Structure 1
Amino acid sequence: MTLATGIAVASLLALPGCDRGGDDAKPGVSPSTSASASESSGSIADKADLVGDWEDVEAQWAVHFNEDGTFVEDFQGIVDFRVGTYDISGETVSLIGDDGNTTTGTVTGVTLVFKLGTLIRS
């Protein structure tokens, strides 16, 4: 295994643990309230609003939310990096991976803010 491959694998294995034990919102980003999110056009209020492709180009991260409540993550060029189910409760989006890890993020306006990055609809 080359050094670059080893570093990439180590990075990817550490990624699912990034959400353990804390608030996943980025510092300085204030989450919107449920009332304001549901009142604005294009807001994210339930699972149906998440269906589609979301990405953070800078983090090289994409999440594909399916109508059946499943998701697929692509990360740094690895397609189908992680799969699982998703849920939304109030302003919290949870990616429940088949790997046993759950990543939580916050709905902020029409974006999804996670520790890894901010997803926007692509």
Structure 2
Amino acid sequence: MRITTLAIFAATALLLAGCTSDAPAAAGDPSTAATSTSPDAEPPGDSSSEGTVALRGDWEDPQAEWVVHLEEDGTFTEDFEGLTDFRVGTYEVEGDIVRLLGDDGNTDEGTVVGSGDTTQLEFNLGTLTRQ
């Protein structure tokens, strides 16, 4: 019985080993898009994004005691209930969606509502307006 189990394990390992490839991925291969380690790769929320540029600055919700600082380099810092630099990470904007990708592993997704001086960022925690 033990020999049969080992034989099945060995055969499975050989089959799985044959499924890998040392060939370079084709350009545009979606399986490699999220794993780029190129030093020239743009960070999430890259500063060339029109939506990211439009949202740079300080946003607050006094009722929730929450302030979000969106920086030019695609990073953010949150102040919460009197704690400065409570959370940090990167942000990205896709259309009317803004995502705060925290270094703590949590992502908060909000919606950009309005335009110009009436722009607001609506999140579950609260609605941010420009300071």
Task: Judge same fold: TM > 0.5, yes or no.
Answer: yes
Matched residues, number: 78
| Rg comparison, structure with higher value | 2
Please state how far the C-alpha of 1:101 moved relative to its aligned partner: 0.6
Aligned to 2:85: 80
Query: In structure 1, the residue corresponding to 2:63 is in which secondary structure?
Result: coil
Can you give the 5+ residue segments of structure 2 that lack an aligned partner in the other structure?
1-49
Can you give the 5+ residue segments of structure 1 that lack an aligned partner in the other structure?
1-44
Please state how far the C-alpha of 1:75 moved relative to its aligned partner: 0.2
Query: In structure 1, the residue corresponding to 2:73 is in which secondary structure?
Result: coil
Match of 2:98 among 93, 99, 109: 93
Query: In structure 1, the residue corresponding to 2:54 is in which secondary structure?
Result: helix
Q: Which has the higher contact order (CA 8 A, sep 6+)?
A: 1
| Structure 1 CA distance for aligned equivalents of residues 64 and 56 of structure 2 | 21
Query: In structure 2, the residue corresponding to 1:46 is in which secondary structure?
Result: helix
1:34-74 alpha-carbon deviations (Å, 9 max, x no partner): xxxxxxxxxxx610011110000000000000000000000
User: Does residue 121 of the first structure (1) align with residue 130 of the second (2)?
Assistant: yes
Aligned to 2:76: 71
Aligned to 1:61: 66
| Structure 2 CA distance for aligned equivalents of residues 65 and 90 of structure 1 | 17
Name the % identity. 59
| Structure 1 CA distance for aligned equivalents of residues 105 and 90 of structure 2 | 11
| Structure 2 CA distance for aligned equivalents of residues 119 and 97 of structure 1 | 17
Amino acid at match of 1:50: L
RMSD over aligned Cα, in angstroms?
0.7
| Structure 1 CA distance for aligned equivalents of residues 56 and 108 of structure 2 | 17
After TM superposition, list the pairs within 5 Å mapping 1:7-18 onto structure 2. none
TM-score by length of 2: 0.59
TM-score by length of 1: 0.63
